Structure formats: structure tokens, C-alpha cells
Amino acid sequence: MNLQDKWVQLEARERKAVVLGVCILAFGIVYGLIWRPLEQSVRVRTEQVQNMRSDLAWMRQAAAEIRALRGNNVKANAISGGSLLNVIDKSARQQGLDKSIVQLTPQGDGEVSVSLKQVNFTRLARWLGALQQQGVRIRTLSLIPSGVGQVRTSLTLNRAPAAST
């Protein structure tokens, strides 16, 4: 006995129940396999866009702070207290960033490479401003957002050229 024969043997009421069951099953499959995953994907993408917009706004604000620090044109004081490495280390301790330093490596030509793990951007900007006032110049700077107001940082520092009088 095949499926068509079974269908013919069903009463009209039973056929309606089977059709209704098949419709409900089809709706469940469409909802579970198409609609729900699509809806979740849209929600996740919307959250990602909102997070990226928030990161962008923070980066723009951070860039403005960096431009403001660069534009200060504060006359750099001569580096005192020993080597560039010592000045950077001492200044980081004074600003409370010593525990955030992952790597502090002297490079050739009087440069020092510094890597910091997750650190508050405002604290980092203050530290870089303090270094600038001590005659230290930023040669390279890389900031990677790692949370609200937090960055991972990699930078190369060197001595600012002596001001001619």
C-alpha cells in the first residue's frame, strides 16, 4: 500500500488534520532553519555596527587628544636622570603604567621600543605628554582599541633634537 492509497482511505476530517499538521511542520521548518538564523544574524550585525561606531567615535576623540598634545609646542626640557631607557621607565612608574609595560627594549641609534598591554588611553596620553616635556619624542605609535577607553600600544621613542639657542 503506497502513500496515495492511504491518503484516499482517510476521511475528510483526517485529511484536514494531516494538511494542517504538514502546514504547521512546514512553518516550523521555515522558521527554525531560515527565519530565526537570519533574524539572529541581523541582530548580531547590528550590535557589531553599533560597537564599531562607538569605537570610531572613541578613536576620533583620541585622535583629537593626540593632535592637541602634538600642537602644544612645549619646549622640551633636556633629558635628565640618565639614559633614555631610565627616563622612560621612571616616567612610566610615576604615571602608574609600569605594570602595563610588556616590553621595553633599547634599539639602535638612541631609540627605545615600548609595548604596553591594555591601558587607559587618557593615562597613556598624559604619560606621552610628560615624556615630551622631558625631551622624549614619539617616532612611531600604534594604538589598538581593546575596550572602552582602553588601548594596546606599541611605540618607538627617541630623544628630541636639542633646541638651538
Task: Flag whether pLDDT at 39 surpasses 90.
Answer: yes
* Contact (Cβ atoms closer than 8 angstroms) between residue 115 and residue 97: no
Q: pLDDT value at position 163?
A: 52
Q: For 94-143, write each residue's pLDDT tens digit.
A: 888 888 899 988 887 788 999 999 898 888 988 998 888 888 898 999 99
Kindly report which listed range (69-73, 83-87, 96-100) carries the lowest average pLDDT score: 69-73
Q: pLDDT value at position 161?
A: 67
How confident is residue 85, by pLDDT bands cut at 50, 70 and 90? confident
Task: Flag whether pLDDT at 80 surpasses 70.
Answer: no
Q: pLDDT value at position 69?
A: 72
Q: pLDDT value at position 74?
A: 44
Could you write out the three-class secondary structure of the chain?
CCHHHHHHHCCHHHHHHHHHHHHHHHHHHHHHHHHHHHHHHHHHHHHHHHHHHHHHHHHHHHHHHHHHHHCCCCCCCCCCCCCHHHHHHHHHHHCCCHHHEEEEEEECCCEEEEEEEEEEHHHHHHHHHHHHHCCEEEEEEEEEECCCCEEEEEEEEEECCCCCC
How confident is residue 162, by pLDDT bands cut at 50, 70 and 90? low
